[in-house]
């Protein structure tokens, strides 16, 4: 029997048993107020691990290194820096990513193959390895260090993204924790987004990879801030098995509970990422129901959530629903205009393709709140999806007009 899934107050990536973490300021960030930029996570026991990576053809060397290390077997550590992406720097990128795993291994008593590595920040600049060498030695690991990792990962993020849940499996308390960063260059498949999930659940490797990909498809891959997919996007999960439950695989009675808990963690982080999109003043939620199939629903939801015109309208608290229809129309999802119902924050604006009179002032004032939800019922099939995004603001343009200068 599985118990209920509970959110842990102050939960983070070190909430699961046996994970330690810490961070330091190595000098890689020059533009952020938050002065941590290099972090480590380690596990007291070897971890079954899985990952989902950017689909971009131009990739950070860290992606290559992580794929190699995941293929070699269990891992026990992860090193991450912010400030510099280690991308588009030629062969030096791979050497430096490898060296980071060597340095992190030396610091924590692991082989380099047991360490994963992530970088985020400016593209086209080499990592100052001397700063990283001296920085890694300064990191103090603790069982409360997840908060420091969350801070160290931030680039233009204005706040940390952290979460943990707990549930019981056969009487054993089990935890899943996560941290994420990402604010701009965020779009499905995947965002300039780094997300690290830890769990003390005992999980079979193939099941973990399959479940992670499924969960990412309905969470991080339904997130869009600006339509730009990064070169470095990485979602990693480490499962050290210390909870003592029986190993979960696809046929376990507990598979559903684990998937649901992982999903809650990933969706929580996704919402927090969307809410903190660069310059964002409010969260946009696009719910699509009645699409021909799930792929169509996802396409439609993502396209509406990523439309600059929809995002600008939300910024102005303007119920300009014609733009939602425009974005739906160009999404590639099957749609029959005469069947579509559209709701803005629960208020029906269009029914069976015809606009219906609504109290404009009431809708505008609702749209001034922290969340705006568009619900599109296509009434064609049973495909459903939710996408998360944020409004487009003058602040976004200001932030991104002078990032490297």
Residue 89 in the binding site for a copy of itself (CB under 8 A): yes
> What's the CA gap between 112 and 106, in Å, rounded?
8
223 lies in the binding site for a copy of itself (CB under 8 A): no
> Taking the CA of residue 269 as centre, how many other CA atoms within 13 Å lie in the half-sphere pointing to its CB?
34
58 counts as binding a copy of itself under rule CB under 8 A: yes
Residues 6+ apart with CB under 8 A from 316: none
Please state the closest distance from residue 326 (CB atom) to a copy of itself, in A: 5
φ, ψ at 373 (rounded to 5°) = -110, 125
**211 catalytically annotated:** no
Tokens of 152: 């160290």
Span from 30-38, 181-189, 212-220, 253-261 in contact with a copy of itself (CB under 8 A): 181-189
Per the listing, tokens 């077997």 go with: 73
Task: Count residues near a copy of itself (CB under 8 A).
Answer: 68
Q: Contact between 46 and a copy of itself (CB under 8 A)? A: no
Phi, psi dihedrals of residue 201, rounded to the nearest 5°: -65, 150
Residue 85 is a binding residue for a copy of itself (CB under 8 A): yes
> Maximum Cα–Cα distance for the chain, whole Å?
67
Nearest approach, Cβ of residue 403 and a copy of itself (Å)? 6
Does 380 engage in binding with a copy of itself (CB under 8 A)? no
342 CB-side CA count, 13 A? 29
216, two tokens = 């990412």
250 contacts 207 by C-beta, under 8 angstroms: yes
| CA-to-CA separations, 255 to 46, 111, 199, 246, 248, in angstroms, rounded | 21, 31, 14, 11, 6
Q: How far is the CB of 377 from a copy of itself (least distance, A)?
A: 15
For position 59 contacting a copy of itself by CB under 8 A, the verdict is yes
3-state SS of 208-236 is: HHHHHHHHHHCCHHHECCCCCCCCCCEEE
Binding mask 244-283 toward a copy of itself (x if CB under 8 A, else -) reads ----------------------------------------
Q: Parallel, antiparallel, or unpaired: how do β-strands 6-7 and 161-169 relate?
A: antiparallel
Give the interface segment with a copy of itself, choosing from 13-21, 69-77, 256-264, 303-311 (CB under 8 A).
Answer: 303-311
Among 333, 363, 372, 387, binds a copy of itself (CB under 8 A): 333
* Residue nearer to a copy of itself on the CB measure, 217 or 353: 353
Interaction with a copy of itself in 120-159: which residues (CB under 8 A)? Answer: 122-125
Chain residues that interact with a copy of itself, rule: CB under 8 A: 54-59, 85, 87-90, 122-125, 184-185, 187, 189, 226-231, 306-309, 312-313, 315-316, 318-323, 325-330, 333-335, 337-338, 350, 353-355, 364, 392-394, 396-405
Active site residues: 192
């Amino acid at each position: 029997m599985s118990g209920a899934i509970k959110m842990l107050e102050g939960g983070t990536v070190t909430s699961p048993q046996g994970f330690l973490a810490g961070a330091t300021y190595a000098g890689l960030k020059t533009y952020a107020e938050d002065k941590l930029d290099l972090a480590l996570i380690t596990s007291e026991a070897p971890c079954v691990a899985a990952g989902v990576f950017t689909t971009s053809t131009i990739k950070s060397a860290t992606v290559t290194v992580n794929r190699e290390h995941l293929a070699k077997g269990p891992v026990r550590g992860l090193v991450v820096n912010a400030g510099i992406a280690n991308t588009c720097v030629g062969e030096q990128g791979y050497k430096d990513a490898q060296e980071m795993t060597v340095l992190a291994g030396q610091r924590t008593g692991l082989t380099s193959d047991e360490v994963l590595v992530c970088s985020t920040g400016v593209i086209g600049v080499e990592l100052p390895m001397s700063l990283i060498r001296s920085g890694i030695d300064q990191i103090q690991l603790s069982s409360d260090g997840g908060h420091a990792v969350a801070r160290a990962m931030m680039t233009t993020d204005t706040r940390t993204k952290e979460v943990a849940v707990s549930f019981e499996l056969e009487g054993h308390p089990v935890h899943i924790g996560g941290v994420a960063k990402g604010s701009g260059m965020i779009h499905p498949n995947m965002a300039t987004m780094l997300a690290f999930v830890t769990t003390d659940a005992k999980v079979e490797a193939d099941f973990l990879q399959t479940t992670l990909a499924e969960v990412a498809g309905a969470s991080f891959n339904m997130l869009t801030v600006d339509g730009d997919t990064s070169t470095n996007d990485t979602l990693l999960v480490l499962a050290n098995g210390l909870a003592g439950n029986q190993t979960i695989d696809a046929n376990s009675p507990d598979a559903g509970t684990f998937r649901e808990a992982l999903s809650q963690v990933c969706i929580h982080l996704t919402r927090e990422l969307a809410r903190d999109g660069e310059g964002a003043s409010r969260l946009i939620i696009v719910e699509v129901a009645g699409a021909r199939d799930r792929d169509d629903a996802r396409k439609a939801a993502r396209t509406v959530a990523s439309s600059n015109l929809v995002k600008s309208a939300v910024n102005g608290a303007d119920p300009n629903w014609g733009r939602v229809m425009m974005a739906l129309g160009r999404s590639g999802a099957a749609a029959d205009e005469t069947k579509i119902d559209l709701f803005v924050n629960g208020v029906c604006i269009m029914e069976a393709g015809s606009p219906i009179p609504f109290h404009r002032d009431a809708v505008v004032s609702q749209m001034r709140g922290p969340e705006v939800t568009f619900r599109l019922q296509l009434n064609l099939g049973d495909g459903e999806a939710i996408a998360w995004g944020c409004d487009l603001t003058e602040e976004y343009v200001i932030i991104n007009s002078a990032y490297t200068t």
